Amino acid sequence: MIAPIAGFSKLSKDEKIEWLANTYFQNNETVVNTLKKYWNTDEILQKLHDEFIENTISNFYLPLGIAPNFLINNQLFVIPMAIEESSVVAAASKAAKFWLDRGGFKATVVSTEKVGQVHFMYFGSTEKLKNYFESIKPEFYTATKHITQNMEKRGGGITNIELRDKTAELDGYFQLHCTFETVDSMGANFINSCLEEFAKTFKDNAENFEDFTSEEKYIQIVMSILSNYVPNCLVKAEVSCPVASLTEGETMDADEFAAKFVRAIQIAKTEPYRAVTHNKGIMNGIDAVVLATGNDFRAVEAGIHAYAAKDGQYSSLTHAEVNDGIFTFWIEIPLSLGTVGGLTSLHPLVKLALEMLGKPTAKELMKIVAVAGLAQNFAAVRSLVTTGIQKGHMKMHLVNILNQLEATEAEKKHFITFFKDKTVTHSAVVDAFNAYKVAQA
């Protein structure tokens, strides 16, 4: 049985690796060498990476690719994407090229409101609580002035604070529901700092509110935290063109393609099982850009998926229609992003990615990310209703399978040519590879 370890965080990186190898790998030299192989040879850069998180033992790399030819609001972009899944970058690039000659993508920011809440318990008169809130509300702004002054200089700050009665859902539960504008920062630290100051002000001043009884003066602050659900921090992206321009080669005419495409979106709106996979494909594009630009993809995922269920059933994030011969495809999603603070000024590749995008503001980045999600979904649905998803995906996955089989460069070249006009499946590649090896023996 493995014993717990005390003081692990105080060990050096080499000592942590040595303990790991001795405890879980019987001092396997390969484990040690593998971990150290992924250290950066630039010691300053490696130290920077080591300090991003705790108990660092190595770096975990993801490929950084680029998808060119994105025409967004009449400006051409190359979009950085950090992701491990085959065909995502290729699909985005293909969609970008498709829409390049059809007017490109249009994107607009609808709103930029962020949310935070102070959750507390109170079991006295609701009317007295409301009166107390109104009396203390100006003090919230005064108490946080030292936090908000720099944000206000940039055009942001606290936009509203309201008391919400949630006792119908949970006995004694109330909240301060607060909204913020954080301009070009994601704003998590700013929002949480404000909320904690609100909570202190709210609790401490209750002692001096003369209408409260001694019991009512006790307000239990449960927690103060931002919300990653930001339904009023919205961006919309869309594409449109005449149906006649939706050429799909000899396999399907434009009218049939448009009808099947719209029907596929309707199915994703109606059927949650399909909607989850449909939206996962959208997030392939969104997460890849969010990660490449140093933003919090977990927060973005949580907020977007909650938005997909805002009407009581999980549904498609994208929409499509044909009106008067015009095909329109669009997405409207909540996105809380930043282009200053956090990793945006620390991680060298994040800085490079933002420079690649023209050093965008947070609003501009919202538009780019939304377009990446829409492009990814267009490419996926387009494949689904025509050739099927596996044809393109497995072609991209072919090299991964060959790498698993430890194929040489010459063998990879041979099988890429061999499968050029064949269906790629894992078993087909393995069988062909084994047969080839036997023939070569």
pLDDT (tens digit, 9 = 90+) per residue, 261-287?
999 999 999 999 999 999 999 999 999
Same domain, 259 and 353: yes
pLDDT, residue 387, reads: 79
pLDDT band at 440 (very low <50, low <70, confident <90, very high): confident
Catalytic-labelled residue, pool 36, 47, 280, 359? 280
Q: What share of the chain has pLDDT > 90, as a percent?
A: 82
SS3 content of the chain, % helix, strand, coil (to 5): 50, 20, 30
Same domain, 96 and 126: no
* Coil, strand or helix at 263: helix
Same domain, 423 and 383: no
Same domain, 210 and 260: no
Same domain, 207 and 242: no
Considering only 28-32, 91-95, 114-118, 333-337, which range has the smallest mean pLDDT? 28-32
Same domain, 272 and 326: yes
| 34 falls within a domain | yes
Same domain, 72 and 16: no
Catalytic-labelled residue, pool 238, 296, 367, 395? 296
Same domain, 236 and 351: yes
Looking at the predicted structure, is the pLDDT value of residue 249 above 70?
no
Domain end residue (candidates: 367, 387, 407): 387
Q: Is 319 a catalytic residue?
A: no
Q: How many domains does the chain have?
A: 4
Same domain, 287 and 405: no
| 60 falls within a domain | no
- Report field, pTM of the whole predicted structure over 0.85: yes
Q: What share of the chain has pLDDT > 70, as a percent?
A: 97
Secondary structure in 3-state letters for 299-328: HHHHHHHHHHCCCCCCCCCEEEEEECCEEE
Q: Is 85 a catalytic residue?
A: yes
| 202 falls within a domain | yes
Same domain, 222 and 242: no
Are 333 and 317 in contact by the 8 Å Cβ rule? The answer is: yes
pLDDT in tens, 383-411: 999 977 665 556 667 877 888 888 888 88
Q: Is 296 a catalytic residue?
A: yes
For 338, the token pair is 């930043």
**Rounded distance, CA 342 to CA 169, Å?**
36
Query: What is the average pLDDT across 369-386?
Result: 96
262-to-173, 198, 267, 313, 325 alpha-carbon distances in Å: 44, 48, 9, 20, 13
- Token pair 């994105």 is at which residue? 70
188: domain CATH number? 3.30.70.420
pLDDT, residue 395, reads: 61
Catalytic-labelled residue, pool 114, 393, 395, 397? 393
Residue 152: enclosing H or E segment and its boundaries? Answer: helix 145-153
Catalytic-labelled residue, pool 18, 49, 50, 85? 85
pLDDT in tens, 13-62: 999 999 999 999 987 899 999 999 999 999 999 999 999 999 999 999 99
| 55 falls within a domain | no
| 150 falls within a domain | yes
Q: Is 146 a catalytic residue?
A: no
**Rounded distance, CA 353 to CA 337, Å?**
14
| 429 falls within a domain | yes
Q: Which domain holds residue 412?
A: 393-440
pLDDT, residue 433, reads: 83
Looking at the predicted structure, is the pLDDT value of residue 248 above 70?
no
pLDDT, residue 344, reads: 85
Higher pLDDT, 394 or 318: 318
Report the chain's mean pLDDT, rounded to a whole number. 93
Looking at the predicted structure, is the pLDDT value of residue 203 above 80?
yes
